[in-house]
A and B are shown apart, each in its own frame.
Chain A
Amino acid sequence: MTLERLGSWITAPFRFLYHFIVGDDWTVAAVVLVTLIVIGFLNSNHIVSWWLMPLVAILMTGLSLRRHAVR
C-alpha cells in the first residue's frame, strides 16, 4: 500500500465529518463560529446579544441560497 493511499484512509473519517457537518458552504460555519465569539464577548460585558445569532443564521441562509443559485 502506498503512503498516499494510507494517508487517504487515515484522513477519510475527518473528511466525512467535515462534509457531513459543514457541508458544501464553509462560510456559514465560519460566520456562526465568529458570531459565537462575538456573542460571548458581548455577554461577558453585560450587553444583550441573544438576537444576534437568529439574525446571522437567517442572513447567512439567504446568502448561501443566493450563492447556490448562481452556481
Chain B
Amino acid sequence: MVSTSVVPVLITTFLASAVEAIEMVTIVVGVGATRGWRSTIIGTLSGFGVLAVVIAVLGVALQRIPIGPLRLVVGALLLVFGLQWYRKGITRVAARGFAGIGGQDPEEAEVWKGEGMDWTAWFLAFKGVVLEGLEVAFIVVAFGAGANQMGAAIVGGVGAVVIVGGIGLSLHQTVRRIPRSFLQLIVGTLLTTFGTFWSLEGLGVDWPGSDLAIVGLLVVYALSAAGYISLERNRIGGLKAAA
C-alpha cells in the first residue's frame, strides 16, 4: 500500500491539533479557574471519551477502504477544508500579524459556590472539548487514512493536545499568546498541499517528480499566501488612511 512518510504526517497533525487545542485549553482553563476544577475536569474527560470513540470508529472504517478512492475523497475534503483555513489564516495574519487569540474567559462562567456536580462547568468544558476536538479528530483521521499512517497521525494529534494542555494548566496566559492565526495559516497551507496532491493521485494523475511534487506545491501555496497577505495589508492600510 502507498504511504506518505511519518514526518510530514506528524508535523501536520501536530500543528493542526495545536491550533484547535489552544482554543480548547483556553475554554477549559477559563471555566476551571472561575467555576472550579472538579466538574470542569470531568466534563473535559467526558469530551475526550467521545472524541476517542469517534477517532476509533472512523479510523477503523476508513482503513478498510482501498487507498485510491480513499485518497480522492479524503484529498478533496482536506483541500476544501484546507482552503478555508488558508483564506482565514491569510486574512488574520494580514490583520493581526503574530498576535495570539487574546479574548476573555467564557461569558457564561460565573463563580460557582454550590456543592456536588456543577453541570454548567461540566457542559462548558464538554462542549469546548467536543466542538474543538471534532476538528482535530477530522484532521487526524483523514490525514492518517490518506497517508496510510494512522498511528503517526494519532501521536501528532494527542501530542499537541497534551503539550498545549500542559502549557495551559501551568502557564495560563501563555496559551493565549501562541500565534494561532499564523499556525492556522501554516496548517491551511499544509492541508491544501496534501489535499491537492492526494485528490489528484486518487484520480490517477501522475505528479512530476512523484512525492517531491508535495514540496513544490508547498512552496507555490506559501508564496501565494505571502502575496495575498501583502495585498490584504495594502487594502487594510488604504481603508485606515481613507477613514
Tell me the A residues contacting B by CB distance below 8 Å.
Answer: 20-23, 25, 28-29, 32-33, 36, 39-40, 43-44, 49-50, 53-54, 57-58, 60-62, 64-65, 68-69
Q: Which chain A residues border B196 with CB–CB below 8 Å?
A: 53-54, 57
Contacts of B91 in A (CB 8 A): 65, 68
- How large, as a class, is the contact surface on chain B? 20 to 34
Taking the complex as formed, is B101 at the interface, i.e. its CB lies under 8 A from any CB of chain A? no
User: A53 — which chain B residues lie within 8 A by C-beta?
Assistant: 79, 196, 199-200
Q: Are B228 and A28 in contact (CB under 8 A)?
A: no
Q: Is B86 an interface residue (CB 8 A)?
A: yes
SS class, residues of chain A in contact with chain B? helix
B interface vs A, CB < 8 Å? Answer: 72, 76-77, 79-81, 83-84, 86-87, 90-91, 134-135, 138, 192, 196, 199-200, 203-208, 213, 217, 220-221, 224, 228, 231-232, 235
A residues less than 8 Å from B235 (CB atoms): 69
- A29 contact from B80, B134, B206, B213, Cβ within 8 A: B80
Q: List 19 A-B contacts (CB under 8 A).
A: A20-B134, A21-B80, A21-B84, A22-B80, A23-B81, A32-B80, A32-B83, A36-B72, A36-B199, A50-B205, A50-B207, A53-B199, A54-B221, A57-B79, A58-B220, A58-B224, A65-B228, A68-B87, A68-B91
Q: How far is the CA of A43 from the CA of B83 in the complex (A)?
A: 23
CB contacts (< 8 Å) of A28 on chain B: these are 80, 83-84, 87
Distance between B89 CB and nearest chain A CB, rounded to angstroms: 10
- Least Cβ–Cβ distance between B124 and chain A, in angstroms: 18
Query: A50's contact among B90, B135, B206, by CB below 8 Å, is which?
Result: B206
| Residue among A22, A23, A65 with most chain B CB within 10 A | A65
**Given A50-B213, A54-B220, A65-B90, A21-B77 contact (CB < 8 Å):** yes
